[in-house]
Amino acid sequence: MSGDDDFVNFHQMELDDRILKAISIVGWAKPTLIQEKAIPLLLEGKDVILRARTGSGKTAAFAIPLIQRILNSKSNADEQITSAFVLTPSKELCQQTRQAISQLSSLCGKLIKVVDLSSNDTGAQKHVLSERPDIVISTPGRIVHHLVSGNVDLKKMEVLVIDEADLIFSYGFEKDFKKIVEFLPAIYQAMLVSATITEDVVEMKKIVLHNPVILKLEEPDLVPESQLSHQRILAETNEKPAILSALFKLHLLRGKNVIFVNTVDRCYKLKLFLEQFAVKSCVLNSELPTSIRCHVINQFNQGKYDIIIASDEKMLDDAAGTTSSKKDKESGVSRGIDFQCVSNVLNFDFPLDVSSYIHRAGRTARGTNKGSVLSFVSIRDQAMNDKVEERLKAGYSSEETIIRNYQFKMEEVEAFRYRAHDAWRAITKVAVHEARIKEIKQEIFNSEKLKGFFSDHTRELEVLRHDKPLKTVKIQQHLSTVPDYIVPNSLKRIANSTNKRTRSTHFKKYSLAKAAFESQINNPLSCKRKK
Ligand code: AMP
């Protein structure tokens, strides 16, 4: 780990001003550990193997030196060439990488052209490739198609990046990978990023890297406690909906939230429940088409939604490779999908094993941002809660309790219990089933619209929303507002003292003073919200 004395900040890395400005626009105050170590090595032109987990800032670790290198070579280039190729195992990662590169090169004018081959149809790609974009990003299958068809020429490529390298072979792309190598020039700089250094990665290394520096940064799979807080509310099944509605309606949870439940049905049940309280949310589960999942995540990252309800953490962080769908192996891989600026992970249903807890927790406190995990723990969950606690203590080498009690007084929100009880009971199995079908139909319809649109038709995409009410349960209008008499006393005092203000200002005000009511849930992040 870097000591404070030898810490290297972005502005000490001799980066182009345009990159530095883009970094400050994105709002990153300092490099993450892997950026601090990898960027200088890559700027020197070294081959690097980087063992890094998702969320460690690995994309920018390779994107920043890549952009710098292209800016350098463009200043005295006399022809346009494709000088960098980024290989990733999934369409989602291609998209995410393209967005990161576009953001970091946003002030370079049209100097840096980047194309993601996973998005458009192959005909359109052929045209784009004929213009020799500076950076080509692709999944193995797509690039092989274009290489074999002669649509793309990588013979002048200077930099090769392989992201999530351990997944490339394990998802069955070995043959494609070896084919790609046949089209590469003899000399280039290579960077390989991988969560684990498996035998496959070692084999890949032999094929594409020359005497690389291996950066195995000793990063724990959990970010430090100072960055990520763990809290719980002891709640039985029948109490959970009331607490959840109180948390949202009293604005005790601020920022963006990912709520986890244990089944797809629960996902819809919770969405229908929140819908009755006029709290909008999107669902995310493995039943939805990949393009939709990507679109939901993109819009969430842009700040269009505040709440995602997810039913399957493995779909979101697929370390086990369980989603390597045989139907479309390039769209099933979700490891590395990035939810940006998530303030809170809320375990509405406590995870069924320790690694699920860790995966879920990994959705927040990304990069250098802060985050919190808040879990509802029933008596039945207690044993698993203890196992998680043990794991966290070991991870943090601490004797102290890690998952602290969130100070929540059930009696203070008694009125929410009645309202929530009615709302929860109104959601029958039939309503959930209908909602599930309705959502899928709606999203498949959206998906048709989305085909090939991701990169080119951003305006049209704006109008597609995924948090529309499903309306398979009768909406009870009175639930959408919070009458004064049900606001807990500890918050009322503050609300009353500001009675000249508007209602929305009231809420802002007492969320500021929520410390009286809750312990401290970690909050907002430096992330900028775009509405
Ligand atoms: P990655 O590991 O590339 O998936 O990045 C995880 C998240 O960290 C992304 O949301 C980035 O926007 C964010 N990030 C990357 N670098 C930094 C940084 N230096 N400071 C704060 N956040 C960062």
Query: Is residue 211 in some structural domain?
Result: yes
* Domain CATH number, residue 98: 3.40.50.300
Please work out whether the CB of residue 89 comes within 6 Å of at least one atom of ligand 1: no
Of the residues 162, 186, 216, which one is the last residue of a structural domain? Answer: 216
Buried b (16+ CB within 10 A) or exposed e, 495-520: beeeeeeeeeebbebbbeebeebbee
Query: What is residue 530's predicted lDDT score, i.e. its pLDDT?
Result: 39
Query: Is residue 385 in some structural domain?
Result: yes
Regarding whether 74 and 138 lie in a shared domain, the answer is yes
Sheet order of strands, 403-405 included: 282-284, 307-310, 256-260, 342-347, 371-377, 228-234, 403-405
- What six digits make up the tokens of 166? 């351990």
The secondary structure of 283-305 as a DSSP string is EE-TTS-HHHHHHHHHHHHTTS-
Please work out whether the CB of residue 362 comes within 6 Å of at least one atom of ligand 1: no
Query: What is residue 221's predicted lDDT score, i.e. its pLDDT?
Result: 67
Paired with 229 in beta bridges are 372
Paired with 136 in beta bridges are 85, 115
Asked whether the beta carbons of 190 and 209 are under 8 A apart, the reply is: yes
Query: What is residue 281's predicted lDDT score, i.e. its pLDDT?
Result: 92
Asked whether the beta carbons of 376 and 235 are under 8 A apart, the reply is: yes
Choose the residue to mutate in 19, 58, 164, 338 for probing ligand 1, maximizing ligand atoms within 8 Å of C-beta. 338
Please work out whether the CB of residue 54 comes within 6 Å of at least one atom of ligand 1: yes
Regarding whether 70 and 22 lie in a shared domain, the answer is yes
Buried b (16+ CB within 10 A) or exposed e, 238-272: ebbbbbbbbbbbbbbbbbbbbbbbbebbbbbbbbb
Regarding whether 360 and 311 lie in a shared domain, the answer is yes
Q: Quick one: angle between helices 91-104 and 17-26, nearest 10?
A: 120
Regarding whether 304 and 357 lie in a shared domain, the answer is yes
Regarding whether 393 and 301 lie in a shared domain, the answer is yes
Asked whether the beta carbons of 304 and 297 are under 8 A apart, the reply is: no
The Cα–Cα gap between 293 and 284 comes to: 6
Asked whether the beta carbons of 403 and 381 are under 8 A apart, the reply is: no
Please give the sequence-ordered ranges of beta strands (E in DSSP) within 140-208, or none if there are none: 159-162, 189-194
Query: What is residue 219's predicted lDDT score, i.e. its pLDDT?
Result: 62
Radius of gyration for the chain, computed over Cα atoms and rounded to the nearest angstrom: 24
Element (H, E) at 186: none
- What six digits make up the tokens of 92? 């989602």
Rounded to two decimals, the pTM is 0.63
Please work out whether the CB of residue 55 comes within 6 Å of at least one atom of ligand 1: yes
């200088």: which residue's tokens?
A: 40
């920018």: which residue's tokens?
A: 60
Residue range(s) defining the domain that contains residue 507:
492-526
Please work out whether the CB of residue 35 comes within 6 Å of at least one atom of ligand 1: yes
Query: Is residue 396 in some structural domain?
Result: yes
Query: Is residue 466 in some structural domain?
Result: no
Query: What is residue 487's predicted lDDT score, i.e. its pLDDT?
Result: 74
Element (H, E) at 306: none
Please give the sequence-ordered ranges of beta strands (E in DSSP) within 352-400, or none if there are none: 371-377
Paired with 137 in beta bridges are 86, 116
Which residue's CA is minimally distant from atom 20 of ligand 1?
A: 28
Please work out whether the CB of residue 376 comes within 6 Å of at least one atom of ligand 1: no
Query: Is residue 475 in some structural domain?
Result: no
**Residue 136 DSSP SS3:** strand
- What six digits make up the tokens of 40? 């200088």
The Cα–Cα gap between 275 and 283 comes to: 12
Q: How many CB atoms lie within 10 A of CB 2?
A: 12
Which residue's CA is minimally distant from atom 14 of ligand 1?
A: 367
Please work out whether the CB of residue 340 comes within 6 Å of at least one atom of ligand 1: yes
Please give the sequence-ordered ranges of beta strands (E in DSSP) within 385-509, or none if there are none: 403-405
């509605």: which residue's tokens?
A: 245
Buried b (16+ CB within 10 A) or exposed e, 380-409: ebeebbeebbebbeeebeeeeebbeebebe
From 256, 263, 268, 287, select the one nearest 447 (Cα to Cα). Answer: 287
Which residue's CA is minimally distant from atom 8 of ligand 1?
A: 367
Please work out whether the CB of residue 385 comes within 6 Å of at least one atom of ligand 1: no
Please work out whether the CB of residue 57 comes within 6 Å of at least one atom of ligand 1: yes
Query: What is residue 531's predicted lDDT score, i.e. its pLDDT?
Result: 35
Please work out whether the CB of residue 163 comes within 6 Å of at least one atom of ligand 1: no
Regarding whether 390 and 255 lie in a shared domain, the answer is yes
Asked whether the beta carbons of 57 and 200 are under 8 A apart, the reply is: no
Query: What is residue 256's predicted lDDT score, i.e. its pLDDT?
Result: 94
The Cα–Cα gap between 23 and 104 comes to: 6
Who's near 454: CB < 8 A, 6+ residues apart? 95, 119, 291, 294, 295, 461
The Cα–Cα gap between 17 and 108 comes to: 10
The Cα–Cα gap between 526 and 531 comes to: 16
Of the residues 380, 405, 430, which one is the last residue of a structural domain? Answer: 405
Q: Quick one: DSSP state of residue 111?
A: S
Regarding whether 151 and 25 lie in a shared domain, the answer is yes
Regarding whether 132 and 36 lie in a shared domain, the answer is yes
Paired with 403 in beta bridges are 230
Of the residues 165, 186, 216, which one is the last residue of a structural domain? Answer: 216
Regarding whether 177 and 243 lie in a shared domain, the answer is no
Query: What is residue 412's predicted lDDT score, i.e. its pLDDT?
Result: 77
Query: Is residue 425 in some structural domain?
Result: no
Regarding whether 177 and 33 lie in a shared domain, the answer is yes
CA of 26 to the centre of ligand 1 (A): 10
Choose the residue to mutate in 28, 191, 217 for probing ligand 1, maximizing ligand atoms within 8 Å of C-beta. 28
Asked whether the beta carbons of 145 and 118 are under 8 A apart, the reply is: no
Query: Is residue 443 in some structural domain?
Result: no
pLDDT tens-digit profile, the chain (531 residues) = 444 557 789 999 999 999 999 999 999 999 998 999 999 999 999 999 998 776 789 999 999 999 999 999 888 878 899 999 999 988 878 988 999 999 999 999 889 999 999 876 777 888 899 999 999 999 999 999 999 999 999 999 999 999 988 888 877 788 999 999 999 999 999 999 987 788 888 889 999 888 889 887 766 667 888 889 999 999 999 999 999 999 998 888 889 999 999 988 999 999 999 999 999 999 888 777 766 777 788 788 878 889 999 986 555 544 333 334 433 444 443 455 567 889 999 999 999 988 889 888 988 887 778 899 999 999 999 999 999 999 999 888 888 999 999 987 777 778 888 889 989 988 988 888 888 888 777 776 666 655 554 444 455 555 566 777 777 777 777 777 777 777 777 666 654 544 444 343 333 333 433 433 343 333 322 344 433
What is the count of structural domains for the chain?
3
Which residue's CA is minimally distant from atom 16 of ligand 1?
A: 57
The Cα–Cα gap between 219 and 451 comes to: 39
Q: Which amino acid is at 308?
A: I
Regarding whether 390 and 300 lie in a shared domain, the answer is yes
Asked whether the beta carbons of 69 and 158 are under 8 A apart, the reply is: yes
Q: Which amino acid is at 176?
A: D
Which residue's CA is minimally distant from atom 19 of ligand 1?
A: 31
Regarding whether 383 and 305 lie in a shared domain, the answer is yes
- What six digits make up the tokens of 503? 């209602």
